[in-house]
Amino acid sequence: MADLKSLKTQFLEYLEIEKGRGVKTVENYDRYLNRFLSFGKVKAPGQITEQMVREFRITLNRSAGVSGTMKKNTQNYHLIALRAFLKFLRKRDIESLNPERIELAKTGGRDLDLITADELNRIMKAPYSAKASKGTAAGDLTTLRDAAILELLFSTGLRVSELCNLNQDLDLSRDEFSVRGKGDKVRVVFLSSSAKKAVSEYIKKRADMSDALFVSYGKGSPKTKDLPRLTPRSVERIVKQYAVKAGITRKVTPHVIRHSFATDLLSNGADLRSVQALLGHANIATTQVYTHVTDKHLREVHKQFHGKRRN
């Protein structure tokens, strides 16, 4: 029988090839499993016990995180990886701990980082107002790029990694395009008129030879050569910069704009299944996190219509 190290390698290959998980996800599963296997000092699948998992959970709970103890969600990521590995072993008729014996830690409801419609509008205008305040041209290439990034994020609800992977061969004669998201799944996203205009103006102004839609303009770098593609971290910095310039004190990231995209649709009557498809969520439970935010109008409905016939 193969040892645990070999079985773990097979499991990670299975995740990537058969399940279509992204490279980052596979790397995370590898890290979580290594932590468990190192903790338990086990060499064979049959040596994994419920008691060992319980002691591992205690160790995780006492581990230091960024803000003190490790968050329950982060603890659960370790357990999810272990449970998936045990399911993989069971499918191959390899004796080990029953994956159903592993329960996840209870977590509170997920809090969404949201911004108001007014704050969103201020961020969208920030690239142009920032240039105007410095006395530089609003048609500056960096300004057009940043405006296109913000408009595209809100129009499509793209993940920042999906945005960074786009190339400038988008067909702007149409209001939609396909994007390859998590798990290598393809979905269609849609362009608002303002997003289409912003992207079009940016592409027309460019003279470089890069395939990437969004590229980095270093100080003094020629604008005609093959320029590096923007990274997700760079886009996060750009969004943060304009949030500050728009006078928003709370943390704003590309994912916060994705939240705004989802809540905007639901608040205006879109159904949950459609929003799930537009976001590229594999499970509708992931999309349901937005519903408690958009159901605030139910208080007004209750007040207006309930108990009117009672004295």
Q: Does the annotation count 281 as an active-site position?
A: yes
Q: Does the annotation count 302 as an active-site position?
A: no
Q: Residue 145 to residues 96, 163, 204: CA-CA distances in angstroms?
A: 53, 12, 11
The alpha carbon dihedral of 98, 101, 107, 110 has a sign of: positive
104's tokens: 């996840």
Read off the DSSP letter of residue 67: T
Q: Does the annotation count 217 as an active-site position?
A: no
Q: Does the annotation count 159 as an active-site position?
A: yes
Q: Which residue in the list 57, 78, 159, 259 is annotated as catalytic?
A: 159
Cβ proximity of 262 and 157 under 8 Å = yes
Distance of alpha carbon 82 from alpha carbon 97, whole angstroms? 10
Q: Does the annotation count 297 as an active-site position?
A: no
Q: Which residue in the list 72, 206, 229, 255 is annotated as catalytic?
A: 255
40's tokens: 């338990």
Q: Which residue in the list 182, 187, 197, 205 is annotated as catalytic?
A: 182
Torsion of CA 40, 45, 47, 48, to 10 degrees: 60
Q: Which residue in the list 32, 202, 242, 290 is annotated as catalytic?
A: 290
Q: Which residues pair with 66 in a beta bridge?
A: none
Q: Which residue in the list 21, 122, 131, 258 is annotated as catalytic?
A: 258
How many C-beta atoms surround the C-beta of residue 248 within 10 A? 20
Q: Does the annotation count 258 as an active-site position?
A: yes
Cβ proximity of 162 and 257 under 8 Å = no
Q: Which residue in the list 8, 78, 83, 281 is annotated as catalytic?
A: 281
Catalytic residues: 159, 182, 255, 258, 281, 290
